[in-house]
Amino acid sequence: MFKIIHMVVNGKEVEVPVDERESLLETLRNRLGLTSVKKGCEVGECGACTVLVDGEAIDSCIYMTVCAEGKHILTTEGLKGPNGELSPIQKAFVEEAAVQCGFCTPGLIMSAVEIVGTGKRYNREELKKLISGHLCRCTGYENILNAMERIVEETYQVTQRNFAEEKNC
């Protein structure tokens, strides 16, 4: 049975007919062509399909598209700047060599977006726990953690500066 779903994907309103049994992963990849959302384990264990739904990182392989009605979905395609430039998180991953085969990278980046969005400062052990739902077979996680530590700290410093400036107004 097909149903029309309305959602905002990467800032654009979409209306898409979906099978009621279809996962958000299938909809994003197969119907909307957003191939950064990777099909890995299909049981919510590897994190390759991670996207943000209303700002929360979820495994899109186990999230039914019908549940996305009226929600805001963000994938790595939605992170690019107005001229196609990489986001600060993506730049940190590249500069810290946190990308090898790239299969797990989009999911890790989306989790980093959620983590950075909290505005909190996290230490390395906390970051390890926060990304524990992601499997990477190439990097050993050290460079991934370096990139995440870097972007979390940079974002925290900017947030603190902005807060201080607001208090002075």
Q: Using one digit for the tens of pLDDT, what is the confidence trace for 64-82?
A: 999 999 999 999 999 999 9
Name the DSSP class of 59. E
pLDDT in tens, 102-159: 899 999 999 999 999 998 999 999 999 999 999 998 877 999 999 999 999 999 888 8
80-169, superfamily in CATH? [2Fe-2S]-binding domain (1.10.150.120)
pLDDT in tens, 92-111: 999 999 998 889 999 999 99
User: What single letter denotes the amino acid at residue 64?
Assistant: M
Domain extent listing, the chain: 1-79, 80-169
pLDDT of 165 reads 78
Q: Distance between CA 24 and CA 66 in Å, rounded?
A: 8
User: What single letter denotes the amino acid at residue 113?
Assistant: V
pLDDT of 169 reads 64
**Domain 1-79 has what CATH class?**
alpha beta
Strands (E), 32-155: 50-53, 56-59, 72-74
Quick check: do 1-79 and 80-169 share a fold?
no
C-alpha closest to that of 130 among 153, 143, 149:
149
Mean pLDDT of 1-10: 96
pTM of the shown model:
0.92
